Chains A and B, each alone.
Chain A
């Protein structure tokens, strides 16, 4: 466990915080959970960095997929699940395509997002996206500007989706209700107000 010293000054205490990692702080079950949900042998990662080197998100953010794989192996669950970078993966699967160990780092990230969501750790924009899908069947619904642009290109204003066939919306809602996605999104957003 991290050593704590009783500095009076809170700022000083934070600055001099013990940053070592301690084995008792880790959760050996974490990697097993990630592998079970992600269905990939994440513990076989040898940290070559092909994933981060392939990642379109990495050059423009602090998101490092290799570091998440490392934290999974070491059981640093707290650190991984509370890191906002977890939500910067675009799920393009470039890392999965190129991983020389034939792993699916993308799926490991998705698994960690799953685990975070179970603990209500989700960025608000993700929850709002869930609400939009529930309402319209789209994460990014059609809008006025889009409709004009579509018509200009000789397309119908509404695409061949739930926008044109709203009768399929109940099906989508049924799936989301089954996983209590809308319900949880509403609740977490309300609690955060």
Chain B
């Protein structure tokens, strides 16, 4: 137990890694090694080209056995990268794996002090001395295992979320698929065709939507948002808000005793509804009623009442009739709790509000539209039945300019600094659609670079050029409108000719940048997921762990992690689903044993720590006639808030105990002098 601390004479082994030239390029390894030998308790100090390699790890295991070491220090890279590796090597040698301490002399040293070798070497010596001081006081710790809930949750039901849910459910895991809109399908259901195969977006998506709806293992929760999240990997406790839909599904109706009732999707209600609002699915270019579905292929086919618009006249209730009784205009939001083991976030994206780049005149000139509006206008099920028109006069445009990098690759602070990655390809597809649908029409594509990197993408670029699209290498400087004809003058430089160009066109399509969806920030905070500078969610490692996050048990799929096209989104969704299924199939997860431990003889039972704990891990219990604090180890994250605060010093933070930290500080401040 914590209060009885007996240390054998510490015998520490220090291993300094060259990491090729990553460390050895700026730090004098020999000097650090020789210095380590002079430190108290150090029995052996060695070095190796790559400590993480098999021979490097063997050195550790062998030294433990030969020298009877009690603690290991490796001076190498970040513990984020190789702490698990060296812990295994420590265990291999017969020591408890928590008797290992890492000194980061790469990310926090050689890489940032590349041109100051002397100072870097001095800093590396400090880091090693501090690590040795801690390693001398490390103790055996035993990780705890907790059982994993055999259910998963996917947040967001676009193509990525749907794929992740299908994979999880097909692997035998009950999956909650949460979608804030009334229907699943996401942005892909708004697209007309997909590049480079030109298959109809709805035609390939609808079967998947039906699969999701019918899958026994998926509990579909549309018009639902995540309200609160508690818990940790294996045991997330998620509160969901089922927004008031005002319409009952057949199951909900049956539950209320209306046998054979509930919404059949007949649409009688919408016919009689007197309230007209713009349909957000058509980007406001078509009307909908206050009781509505977005489009005919919605899933589930259940109507929704827009209570912000509904005047509660009751006509829909009458139209629905006494038998079905599907409409409940007094519906209220409902909260529900679910327990899940792992979570996949597939939060999607929004179009950047491109009107902020006022030089292109979006929302100011009638005939400047965005690419997503173009998709709806060229789509046979869209507001114009697939006839592309100029918004100003309904005429068919013949000369159409496409503005690429509209708000992407923009460092002004107005747009987005990143490449939005799929605009080049969909603009090529748009060019094809125009040539195909409008005889004599010419697409002019204003581009900086055409990024056609995917499989069959460059071939698609070749095809569109062959079909007659005109490419002008120059970013559009500004667009002016002829006030009489409403034609547009696109000003740019043809950089290949080296001449400015003023091109009069009938329609301009802005390939607007994408940005994280509106709810991404809120949702990521609920799940404790980090984001990068540009707002996209941060993966655990950009190359080696692109689906994971720094929060155990939470995974990422699709554009919410960074712009990507449909194939990449689906691929990442399958990766995330696979990663999310591992802890569930294993049945238990090991928690790092960095718990707070209450030293009960010192604890006065004041309870101040209980309220401070951000994870609700602490409580007061009665024990042997005294009130003492108790730690629920599965909930404790080892943050140290309680341990730092406890007025009686009665809380022992395992692996970050006060004597260990004080020893580190002393080692640093006293420069090794005792």
Contacts and interface: CB of A to CB of B under 8 A. Distances in A.
B500 interface: yes
Interface stretch (A5-13, A94-102, A130-138, A154-162): A94-102
Contacts of B478: 53-54, 98
Contacts of A54: 477-478, 491
B493 interface: yes
A113 interface: no
Nearest to A60: B500
Given A52-B500, A53-B475, 5 more contacts: A53-B476, A58-B493, A59-B502, A100-B409, A100-B411
Contacts of A67: 498
B394 interface: no
Interface string B484-500: 00000001111100101
B341 interface: no
B302 to A, nearest CB: 45
Interface of B: 359, 405, 409-413, 415, 448, 473-478, 491-495, 498, 500-502
A66 interface: yes
Given A46-B448, A48-B475, A98-B477, A53 B492 contact: yes
Give 10 nearest A-B pairs by CB, closest first. A53-B477, A49-B493, A48-B475, A52-B493, A49-B474, A54-B477, A49-B495, A53-B492, A53-B493, A102-B411
Nearest to B473: A49
Contacts, number: 69
A99 B412 contact: yes
Nearest to A64: B498
22 contacts: A46-B448, A47-B495, A48-B405, A48-B474, A48-B475, A48-B495, A50-B492, A50-B493, A51-B477, A52-B498, A53-B492, A53-B493, A53-B501, A54-B478, A58-B500, A66-B495, A66-B498, A94-B477, A98-B478, A100-B405, A100-B415, A102-B412
Contacts of B495: 47-49, 52, 66
Given A54-B477, A98-B359, A100-B405, A49 B415 contact: no
A108 to B, nearest CB: 16
Interface residues of A, number: 21
Contacts of A94: 477
A66 B493 contact: yes
Contact of A53 (B405, B410, B500): B500
A73 interface: no
A72 interface: no
B477 A50 contact: yes
A55 interface: yes
Contacts of B415: 100
A50 B475 contact: yes
A55 B500 contact: yes
Interface string A27-45: 0000000000000000000
Contacts of A58: 493, 500
* Most A CB within 10 A of own CB, among B474, B492, B500, B501: B500
A48 B500 CA distance: 12
Contacts of B492: 49-50, 53
A54 B490 CA distance: 11
Given A48-B448, A48-B474, A53-B477, A100 B412 contact: yes
Interface of A: 46-55, 58-59, 64, 66-67, 94, 98-102
Contacts of B413: 102
Contacts of B405: 48, 100
Given A59-B500, A98-B478, A100-B475, A49 B411 contact: no
Nearest to B492: A53
A47 B448 CA distance: 8
Nearest to A58: B500
Nearest to A100: B410
Contact of B474 (A53, A98, A102): A53
A62 to B, nearest CB: 9
Contacts of B498: 52, 64, 66-67
Contacts of A64: 493, 498
A94 B493 CA distance: 14
Contacts of A46: 409, 448
B471 to A, nearest CB: 14
A47 B447 CA distance: 11
A49 B477 CA distance: 8
B494 A49 contact: yes
A116 B477 CA distance: 29
Nearest to A62: B498
Contacts of A101: 411
B545 to A, nearest CB: 31
Contacts of A99: 412
A180 to B, nearest CB: 37
A4 to B, nearest CB: 27
Nearest to A97: B359
Contacts of B473: 49
Contacts of B474: 48-50, 53
A52 B501 CA distance: 10
A53 B491 contact: yes
B417 to A, nearest CB: 9
A53 B499 CA distance: 8
Contacts of B501: 53
Nearest to A44: B411
A123 B477 CA distance: 30
Q: Which of A49, A51, A102 has the most CB of B within 10 A?
A: A49
Nearest to A47: B495
Nearest to B448: A48
A98 B360 CA distance: 11
A24 B195 CA distance: 46
B203 to A, nearest CB: 37
A48 B492 CA distance: 9
A144 to B, nearest CB: 39
Contacts of A55: 500
A96 B491 CA distance: 16
A49 to B, nearest CB: 3
A49 B499 CA distance: 9
A99 B410 CA distance: 9
- Residue from the set A46, A59, A100 with the largest chain B CB neighbour count within 10 Å: A100
A52 B502 CA distance: 12
Nearest to B411: A102
A55 B7 CA distance: 77
Contacts of A48: 405, 448, 474-475, 495
A10 B113 CA distance: 57
Contacts of A50: 474-477, 492-493
A48 B476 CA distance: 9
